[in-house]
Amino acid sequence: MKVNGLKRDTVAVRYGPPGALVPRDLLIRPEQLNLTRVDCEGQALLLVPFDQVEYAPEEQALSLKFAVEKYPAQVLDVQDARINSSRSLTTLPVWYLDFNVSARKQQNLFSQQATVGVNVAVDQLQARLGVKEIFQNNQVSVQGQGHVHYPLSPHWMASGLWNMPRSGLSLLSGASGNLFSGVQVQGGEKPSHFLEPISLLIQHPSSVVVLVDGQVLMVKEVDPGPLKVEHVLLPNGKGTVSVVVQNAVKAERFDYPYETPADLLRPGAYQALLFAGWNESKNAPQVGATAAYGLGAGWLVEGEAVWEGQQTAEASITGLWKQDVHQFGVQLGLNHQKDAGFSPHLKSRYIFNQQPWTLTAQLDMPLSAPFTPFVQATAGLQQDAFGLQLTGQFDSARHLVSGRLQGNWNLQEGSSVYAYVSADNRQNYRVGLGGRFKLDPQITGAVEVNKAIPSGPVQAQATLVYQPDAQNTVTLAADLQQATLSHHYDGVVETDVSVSTRLDASASIQGSVTLVGDQFYLSREQQGSAILVKVGIPDIPLYVNGQLEGKTNAAGELLVLGLPSNRAITVGVNLNDLPFNITTEQESETVTLGQQGMAVLDWTSRFQVSTWVQFLILDQPVRNGTLRVGGSTYPLDDQGWGLLNAVSEAASAVLETEDGQTCNLTLASQQEQYTCEMVFDDSATVPPVEEPATTGPASHPPVAP
């Protein structure tokens, strides 16, 4: 490759008819020469080709002349984006069986627990019916459980629960730990938080996919040059925004972690939850409602009221405020119990977070006894290599005052040491020293030693973690009394096994078995929709939203579970993962899964397997010849080798030599060499051959060479 006549790089190029083919021994895999851009000292430039392209066959070089101009800056506004190149797939019902079985032996006691459920996802309905069995203290208990979820609108969901934990608002209340049987309706307008604009420099013509927690928000084809991604809407909580840049050479993924305030709503936004049923844990009826509303100026108000028959009732109102690095919350609540009457309380919380300082303070005070509060505060300082944290607690009900001071030092990447001292008003003092160490990329360790002052036994514990790959983790944990070896597998199913020197042991396995047609698929427990991708070729890595989901099975299929309904996803392959003899018409496709259930994406016609085949004439290679099969033409190199699309059944072909002679062939599956006798082209003119004068017997007629 030359720029302004100066050599910059050398590449091996393969291009099809009527061009030429680089000898096969020079190719690791087919390479594509992309002539749409050039780099000039890091600046991506747009190429404008001249009308004339020069080709010098005697020099075996292709000369291309281009003018260049700068690419303009581009902006992707994700808020108003619509998924392009997306087609909706029809979903079919999916049935799957989830299971979670565990057993534990501790000292001489044995306990076991198993949960099995039958799930169905069809149209907008998702339902589960299961049973939970527990063996403990030589007693067996069995209880049924189940749920049904059905969307009433894009923002409201109705659910029926049986022996399941009740939902809570995502803002404050959270899920209830009690088992509940009844109905609930939840919905409202979600909070609106946006990520700071993302600036990238695109090096090649690319397809850019913007994802939030694996969910596709936008797919856009962009040119090289500066790119700014704006208005990425974030959900509440923690997560990751990913930008995947896919070009003809490779795919790059840029991740941007985020944490939005889980307790704020924009002005006018609201969330609500209504529920009515039976509290199985307390064996009492339960009716309640929770609602939150955004007031603006950083304020949110949330109210909750719950009635449980004649036993208890509670109501509360909460105000939250957040601005820059400050966050403050205050809650006024009223509880009523049949035997204790009414009990008002006041709770408040303050958080300050501006590096390198952090401060949290919490106050819980019953208004019926305002001089018995619970107070807890934590202050921290974290510099690059040194950190200091001070924690104090005052519990007037227990007459306890305690504190802890800890310092930590970062040694190198992944390793640190720390020391602490703690004390309380009951003359309990303790000092400790510990550290976390990264021995190599696969092995990490931790150790701690602490002792009560002035007298008390020394306590020590150490942990060694070995993670050879993303699916397996082996942990060795030990203290002065025992050691425990455990293994965790996170693959198609999730398993845990552990055993200690005291012969205590535990084991568990969880996953699901999904029925698709007449085939069963073993996988992790899944929620949402599924997609069955058919490629027709085994061991092909497939990606969903830029993340590797696995390889196709022996039938060339991969089932991907746990996908969102009514959302667009991008399914694709990485060209760098494909063997050199496998090509595809399209690297990726963005599709929309309509409803709950399973969709089928058939890509079998898009993938083509090619094989190297050699052609001989009278045991000599057909140098620089051409093979015609149907409407396709394949060039041969100087050893008679050509890269042909694989055939599944017999196919007729015509072999043509460099000087125009032809031969008819029949191609068969999985054959790597063909030999044929030459036949003159009917249109060729054969000059007459003079017979020599003879005086003897007549000679044989001349034979054409």
Q: Which two tokens stand for residue 370?
A: 């305002």
**Residue 422, domain member (yes or no):** yes
pLDDT of amino acid 696: 40
For residues 541 and 600, membership in a common domain is answered with yes
User: What CATH number is given to the structural domain containing 204?
Assistant: 2.60.40.3110
**Best CA proximity match to 545, nearest among 531, 525, 527, 524:** 531
Domain stops at, among 425, 451, 477: 451
More confident call, 636 vs 13: 636
Q: Is a pLDDT exceeding 80 seen at residue 280?
A: yes
Using an 8 Å Cβ cutoff, are 504 and 105 in contact?
A: yes
Averaged pLDDT for residues 564-586: 79
**Residue 46, domain member (yes or no):** yes
Q: Which two tokens stand for residue 557?
A: 């299929």
- What's the pLDDT band for 270 if we cut at 50, 70, 90? confident
pLDDT of amino acid 274: 93
- What's the pLDDT band for 188 if we cut at 50, 70, 90? confident
Q: Which two tokens stand for residue 580?
A: 């050199």
**Residue 598, domain member (yes or no):** yes
Q: How many domains does the chain have?
A: 5
pLDDT of amino acid 473: 95
641, HSE (Cβ side, Cα atoms, 13 Å): 13
**DSSP code per residue over 501-550:** TT--EEEEEEEEEEEETTEEEEES---SEEEEEE-SSTT-EEEETTEEEE
With a pLDDT cut of 90, the percent of the chain lying above it is 21
Q: What is the pTM of this model?
A: 0.62
For residues 586 and 643, membership in a common domain is answered with no
For residues 528 and 599, membership in a common domain is answered with yes
For residues 598 and 637, membership in a common domain is answered with no
More confident call, 183 vs 56: 183
Pairwise CA distance, residues 629 & 656, whole Å: 11
For residues 642 and 587, membership in a common domain is answered with no
Q: Is a pLDDT exceeding 90 seen at residue 451?
A: yes
> Please, which residues have CB within 8 angstroms of residue 703's CB and are 6 or more apart in sequence?
none
For residues 658 and 597, membership in a common domain is answered with no
**Residue 125, domain member (yes or no):** no
Q: Is a pLDDT exceeding 90 seen at residue 277?
A: yes
Pairwise CA distance, residues 675 & 619, whole Å: 7
3-state DSSP of 102-123: EEEEECCEEEEEEEEEEEEEEE
Averaged pLDDT for residues 424-440: 91
> Please, which residues have CB within 8 angstroms of residue 659's CB and are 6 or more apart in sequence?
none
Pairwise CA distance, residues 195 & 254, whole Å: 14
**Residue 443, domain member (yes or no):** yes
**Residue 431, domain member (yes or no):** yes
User: What CATH number is given to the structural domain containing 537?
Assistant: 2.60.40.2610
Q: Which residue has the tokens 């950083």?
A: 298
pLDDT of amino acid 116: 93
- What's the pLDDT band for 681 if we cut at 50, 70, 90? very low
Averaged pLDDT for residues 337-359: 85
pLDDT one-digit tens code per residue, 512-555: 888 776 777 777 656 667 888 998 889 999 988 777 888 898 88
- What's the pLDDT band for 23 if we cut at 50, 70, 90? very low
- What's the pLDDT band for 611 if we cut at 50, 70, 90? confident
**Best CA proximity match to 431, nearest among 459, 391, 400:** 459
**DSSP code per residue over 324-340:** TTEEEEEEEEEEEETTT
Q: Which two tokens stand for residue 460?
A: 């020590």
**DSSP code per residue over 156-179:** EEEEEEEEEEPP--TTTT---SSE
Q: Is a pLDDT exceeding 60 seen at residue 682?
A: no
Looking at residue 202, its amino acid is I
> Please, which residues have CB within 8 angstroms of residue 535's CB and are 6 or more apart in sequence?
542, 552, 556, 557, 558, 603, 604, 607
For residues 588 and 653, membership in a common domain is answered with no
Averaged pLDDT for residues 82-104: 75
Averaged pLDDT for residues 379-402: 87
**Residue 384, domain member (yes or no):** yes
Q: Which two tokens stand for residue 264?
A: 């704020």
- Domain residues for the domain of 444 are 373-451
Order of strands across the sheet that contains 651-656? 632-635, 626-629, 651-656, 662-667
- Tell me the CA end-to-end span of the chain in Å, nearest whole number: 45
Pairwise CA distance, residues 566 & 121, whole Å: 13
Return the minimum-mean-pLDDT range out of 81-95, 146-160, 500-514: 81-95
Pairwise CA distance, residues 519 & 567, whole Å: 26
pLDDT one-digit tens code per residue, 462-496: 999 999 988 899 999 999 999 999 999 988 789 99
- What's the pLDDT band for 115 if we cut at 50, 70, 90? very high
Q: Which two tokens stand for residue 160?
A: 């029926």
Domain stops at, among 259, 274, 303: 259
Q: Is a pLDDT exceeding 90 seen at residue 237?
A: no
pLDDT of amino acid 590: 81
**DSSP code per residue over 420-488:** EEEEETTS-EEEEEEEEEEEETTEEEEEEEEEEESS--EEEEEEEEE-SSSSEEEEEEEESS-EEEEEE
Return the minimum-mean-pLDDT range out of 44-48, 156-160, 206-210, 544-548: 44-48
For residues 604 and 654, membership in a common domain is answered with no
More confident call, 493 vs 687: 493
For residues 628 and 604, membership in a common domain is answered with no
pLDDT of amino acid 686: 37
DSSP secondary structure letter of residue 8 = -
Beta strand ranges found along 23-138 (DSSP E): 37-40, 43-49, 54-56, 61-63, 66-70, 74-77, 86-89, 91-92, 94-106, 109-122, 125-136
Q: Is a pLDDT exceeding 80 seen at residue 29?
A: no
pLDDT of amino acid 595: 66
Averaged pLDDT for residues 17-45: 42
pLDDT of amino acid 687: 41
Q: Which residue has the tokens 């730990």?
A: 177
**Residue 74, domain member (yes or no):** no
Q: Is a pLDDT exceeding 80 seen at residue 439?
A: yes
Q: Which residue has the tokens 């109501």?
A: 315
pLDDT of amino acid 563: 78
pLDDT of amino acid 99: 92
Averaged pLDDT for residues 415-425: 93
Domain stops at, among 243, 259, 275: 259
Pairwise CA distance, residues 240 & 545, whole Å: 13
pLDDT one-digit tens code per residue, 142-166: 989 999 988 888 788 899 999 988 8
pLDDT one-digit tens code per residue, 363-375: 988 888 887 888 9
In order of 21, 64, 134, 334, 583, the CA distances from 12 in angstroms are 10, 16, 65, 77, 18
For residues 552 and 577, membership in a common domain is answered with yes
Q: Which two tokens stand for residue 71?
A: 């690419």
- What's the pLDDT band for 597 if we cut at 50, 70, 90? confident
Mean pLDDT score across all residues of the chain: 79
For residues 377 and 446, membership in a common domain is answered with yes
Q: Is a pLDDT exceeding 60 seen at residue 425?
A: yes
For residues 591 and 619, membership in a common domain is answered with no
